[in-house]
Amino acid sequence: MSGSSLDGLDIAHVQLEEVRGKWSYQILNCACVPYSKEWTELLRRATTTSVADFLRLHSRYGHYLGGQVNKFIEEKGIAHQVHFISSHGHTVFHEPGNQATFQLGEGAAIAAVTGLPVINDLRAVDVALGGQGAPIVPIGDKMLFGEYDYQLNIGGIANVTVWQGSEPLAFDICPANQVLNTLAQRAGKEMDEDGHMAAAGNLLHGVLDEWNKAAYYSKLPPKSLSNEEAIDIAFPALLEGDHSIEDMLHTASVGIAFQIADAISKFPHGKEEGSILVTGGGALNQFLITELRYALGQLGIKTIIPSVEVIQYKEALVMALIGTLRWREEVNVLSSVTGSTKDSIGGALWVI
């Protein structure tokens, strides 16, 4: 899969096992393939191209994905060990209010290049049923990580899974890594490694106040953010005035931690101490995690940071689970999460 932060293509070779309704997993091999400058720009500008160029890009990116999977299989020495490919692709358009979403990366092209069955287009059925189509990771939170009270992913956009009885409710919280990475890139760096630049900055109180006024934050879940909406929330406030990159990174990080804690506070855990599993690239940002630990600690929630493999590849792992459930023709998208009219079996199957 490819996330909104555009840091690269995540590939995970996963083994899943189900015994009497209980699922377990192993991440056997994994890699993140960084995007070239050309691919970064092509993906970032995909929605501004003509229809003809967009369709060409959809096919070209599918062939690119297939080629990267073939290279991964060869490098890891796992030929004949892969049953099928589950591909999320890269979201370039998401407008659930108009029952429309699009993930770039043609499944037929991936299948043609690899010769393997491919399951993709994982969100479309849910959106057609009136759902947000996002987040779709909570099916994995329920089946693979259910021991935690909350499951937080800090990717390009921060999203969380909370629980209402035995059923998960999940929603996008706020812009996250795509904002931090964009700011760091203006300083000539790919990212703010460990949050060092943010730690050196100062809090811009007025900017933080503007960030926190976004109308999206007052909406009730289920709800989701497109990449464009996330940027619109963050950058008008951050870029007003002559602020240093360090100050903007510091303020954005504090804002992310505040919004996460504020969203979670509306779903109390009802225990002496709750627990939250934090994954996604933001879990490696030490300054952000320090701010988050403090904010969540005020709510009696312990922040759990798992292994680097789970941090970086949890979403790819869950795409494997979603594909597996689709293969078995079992529910893989939950209406309690997305707000659709019913649970659904999402995904298109391509077989060569």
> Does 35 have pLDDT greater than 90?
yes
Judgement on whether residues 98 and 215 belong to the same structural domain of the protein: no
pLDDT at residue 12 in the model: 97
pLDDT at residue 136 in the model: 86
In a domain, 39, yes or no: yes
Judgement on whether residues 76 and 206 belong to the same structural domain of the protein: no
pLDDT at residue 126 in the model: 95
pLDDT at residue 139 in the model: 94
Total structural domains in the chain?
A: 2
Judgement on whether residues 272 and 323 belong to the same structural domain of the protein: no
Judgement on whether residues 96 and 177 belong to the same structural domain of the protein: no
Provide, rounded to the nearest whole percent, the portion of the chain with pLDDT above 90: 81
Q: What is the mean pLDDT of residues 329-352?
A: 94
Continuous segment of H or E residues that includes residue 120: strand 118-120
Q: Where are the alpha helices (DSSP H) in 218-331?
A: 227-239, 245-265, 286-297, 308-327
pLDDT at residue 227 in the model: 79
pLDDT level of residue 248 (50, 70, 90 thresholds): very high
In a domain, 59, yes or no: yes
Q: What is the mean pLDDT of residues 38-67?
A: 96
Cross-strand bridge partners of residue 334: none
> Does 327 have pLDDT greater than 80?
yes
Task: Report strand pairing: 274-279 vs 301-304.
Answer: parallel
More confident residue, 339 or 254: 254
The two structure tokens encoding residue 6: 């555009």
> Does 324 have pLDDT greater than 90?
yes
> Does 350 have pLDDT greater than 80?
yes
72: domain CATH number?
3.30.420.40
Q: With contact defined as beta carbons under 8 Å apart, do 6 and 44 qualify?
A: yes
pLDDT at residue 326 in the model: 98
Judgement on whether residues 159 and 75 belong to the same structural domain of the protein: no
Using one digit for the tens of pLDDT, what is the confidence trace for 100-136?
Answer: 999 999 999 999 999 999 999 999 999 999 998 877 8
> Does 337 have pLDDT greater than 90?
no
Judgement on whether residues 214 and 169 belong to the same structural domain of the protein: yes
pLDDT level of residue 188 (50, 70, 90 thresholds): very high
**Distance of alpha carbon 274 from alpha carbon 291, whole angstroms:** 18
**Distance of alpha carbon 76 from alpha carbon 83, whole angstroms:** 15
Judgement on whether residues 295 and 240 belong to the same structural domain of the protein: yes
Q: What is the mean pLDDT of residues 165-174?
A: 86
Using one digit for the tens of pLDDT, what is the confidence trace for 208-230?
Answer: 999 999 999 999 988 888 878 88
pLDDT at residue 9 in the model: 96
> Does 235 have pLDDT greater than 80?
yes
For the entire predicted model, the pTM comes to: 0.82
Using one digit for the tens of pLDDT, what is the confidence trace for 68-109?
Answer: 999 999 999 999 999 999 999 999 998 998 999 999 999 999
> Does 265 have pLDDT greater than 90?
yes
Judgement on whether residues 251 and 122 belong to the same structural domain of the protein: no
In a domain, 2, yes or no: no
Provide, rounded to the nearest whole percent, the portion of the chain with pLDDT above 70: 100
What is the 3-state secondary structure of 139-170?
HHHHHHCCCCCEEEEECCEEEEEEEECCEEEE
pLDDT level of residue 40 (50, 70, 90 thresholds): very high
Judgement on whether residues 147 and 30 belong to the same structural domain of the protein: no
In a domain, 1, yes or no: no
Place of tokens 């010769």: 115
In a domain, 4, yes or no: no
pLDDT at residue 226 in the model: 81
Residue type, 285: N
Residue-number span of the structural domain to which 95 is assigned: 9-134+316-350
Q: With contact defined as beta carbons under 8 Å apart, do 203 and 254 qualify?
A: yes
Cross-strand bridge partners of residue 268: none
The two structure tokens encoding residue 268: 């109390």
Judgement on whether residues 76 and 200 belong to the same structural domain of the protein: no
Judgement on whether residues 76 and 113 belong to the same structural domain of the protein: yes
In a domain, 164, yes or no: yes
In a domain, 282, yes or no: yes
Judgement on whether residues 194 and 285 belong to the same structural domain of the protein: yes
